[in-house]
């Protein structure tokens, strides 16, 4: 069956894998980059102010019921109000959003960087971002707990006792995108 305007690549993450492979060919030092890098991009009507966190699960016993297609990585988009804009179970939507927000930006948006630096005292006071990070990790835990409860009432067994995520100590921050 053919659906006009939709290709087979839209159904999976292949296009992002191909982008990554192309990037690695010209940037072979990717493994040498420090963790916690961030960028600041302008908000848009459909993409409100907030932060997209890219996290790596460092607890080898946890794969949150094999629902995360990009495990051990988790991406969460959270608004400045603490509302989850996109949870970790939607990596394609999240990667599309990052691509859209960053498209055509080869240099920092200096006005936004200055604003972010002023708000964070040049990165010395990132409590607001830290609070959003904690909320993002709690959202991963909440989605998992909801999934565990749902599994109690479905055929095929439960996932309620399969894995346990306790919080921030189960993840390392790879990078984040601030949307202003």
pLDDT of residue 75: 95
Q: Which residues pair with 84 in a beta bridge?
A: 78
Residue 48 pLDDT class (50, 70, 90 cuts): very high
Q: Look at residue 141 in the predicted model and tell me its pLDDT.
A: 83
Please write the tens of the pLDDT for every residue from 2-22.
445 544 444 568 887 788 788
Half-sphere exposure of 101 (CA within 13 A, CB side): 27
Contact (Cβ atoms closer than 8 angstroms) between residue 38 and residue 176:
yes
Contact between 149 and 9 (Cβ < 8 Å) = no
What pTM did the predictor assign? 0.78
Q: What is the DSSP letter of 11?
A: G
């Amino acid at each position: 069956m053919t659906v006009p305007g939709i290709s087979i690549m839209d159904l999976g993450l292949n296009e992002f894998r191909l982008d990554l492979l192309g990037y690695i060919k010209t940037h072979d030092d990717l493994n040498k980059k420090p963790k916690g890098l961030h960028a600041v991009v302008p908000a848009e009507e459909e993409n409100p102010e907030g932060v997209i966190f890219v996290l790596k699960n460092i607890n080898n016993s946890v794969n949150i019921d094999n629902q995360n297609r990009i495990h051990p990585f988790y991406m969460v988009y959270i608004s400045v109000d603490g509302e989850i804009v996109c949870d970790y179970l939607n990596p394609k939507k999240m990667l599309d959003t990052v691509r859209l927000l960053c498209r055509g930006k080869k240099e920092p948006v200096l006005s936004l960087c200055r604003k972010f630096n002023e708000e964070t005292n040049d990165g010395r006071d990132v409590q607001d971002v830290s609070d959003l990070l904690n909320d993002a990790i709690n959202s991963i835990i909440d989605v998992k707990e909801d999934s565990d409860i749902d599994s109690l009432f479905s055929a095929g067994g439960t996932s309620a006792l399969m894995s346990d995520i306790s919080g921030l100590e189960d993840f390392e921050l790879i990078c984040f995108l601030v949307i202003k």
